[in-house]
Amino acid sequence: MAILRKCMCWTVQDGAWVSAVWTLVTSIISFIMFFVDLADFAGKSWGLPQWPFAFDVDWRMHVWKGFLACDIVMLVANILLIMAAALVMHGLKKMTIDRAILACKWFCVIMALYEPVELGIVIYMFSWYGANIWRFVWQVWWFMFWLIRFFVNIFAALCIYSRAQELMYDIAFMYGEEPEHRGPEMAPLTLEMKVNRMTSSKC
């Protein structure tokens, strides 16, 4: 049985799609934020609105190596998460069921690695801000963005994992066995073929 049977007011199928879109959009935003922060260390101006101490690096130059490492790690992590979310979006619409299941599982693996890394890095970075988190617009935005995204990402991973479980049970229902036990003579089914077969079986 899938972990989730419903995703708020959506089915798990729709919820998994929305979760992938959420992850893709927020990961792009996170990538931009860390990239701009990294750009300030390089001394480049991108013509973006600057709030007081928004991207100021002078006060943290004594720990610049730590912040620089955090920016680089999160840039790579966000690229991986963007790719995973895009793969799930494509897999749920265009791929065969087996590959869609694999895409969902890879997404969950990457998310399981991403969340602890992000948690540790954000705790490190905001430990230097201290009480200044609530004094400047940029720090408040970044902190609230991360806090909300952290918990929603966990729910998104559960939703996508539940969709993978649903697809596995659909295959087991159609073939009477688990997907990994299917013979090579059984051609992979697309999601459209799955829907057609299940619809025809109810008639």
Tens digits of residue pLDDT in 114-136: 999 999 998 888 887 776 667 66
Give the single-character DSSP code of 5.
Answer: S
Report the share of the chain in percent with pLDDT over 90.
27
Residue 29 is predicted with a pLDDT of 93
pLDDT value at 67 more than 70: yes
The token pair at 138 is 């940029």
CA dist 170 and 136 (Å) reads 51
Instruction: Give the pLDDT band of residue 56 (cuts 50, 70, 90).
Output: low
CA dist 21 and 152 (Å) reads 12
Distances (CA, A) of 31 to 34, 43, 73, 78, 156: 5, 18, 11, 6, 19
pLDDT value at 163 more than 80: yes
Region 157-172: mean pLDDT is 83
Report the share of the chain in percent with pLDDT over 70.
66
CA dist 18 and 88 (Å) reads 11
Report the candidate in 193, 171, 191, 192 with the shortest Cα–Cα distance to residue 180.
171
Report the candidate in 196, 2, 199, 188 with the shortest Cα–Cα distance to residue 95.
188
pLDDT value at 199 more than 60: no
Burial of 182: CB neighbours in 10 Å, binned 0-12, 13-18, 19+: middle
Residue 39 is predicted with a pLDDT of 76
- Region of 95 (left: φ > 0; alpha: ψ -120 to 50; beta: rest) is beta
pLDDT value at 202 more than 90: no
Q: Which of 107-111, 170-174, 197-201 has the lowest mean pLDDT?
A: 197-201
Residue 6 is predicted with a pLDDT of 52
Residue 41 is predicted with a pLDDT of 67
pLDDT value at 51 more than 80: no
- C-beta of residue 19 within 8 angstroms of C-beta of residue 73: no
According to DSSP H, which parts of the chain are helical? 12-41, 64-93, 97-129, 137-175, 191-202
pLDDT value at 156 more than 70: yes
Residue 112 is predicted with a pLDDT of 94
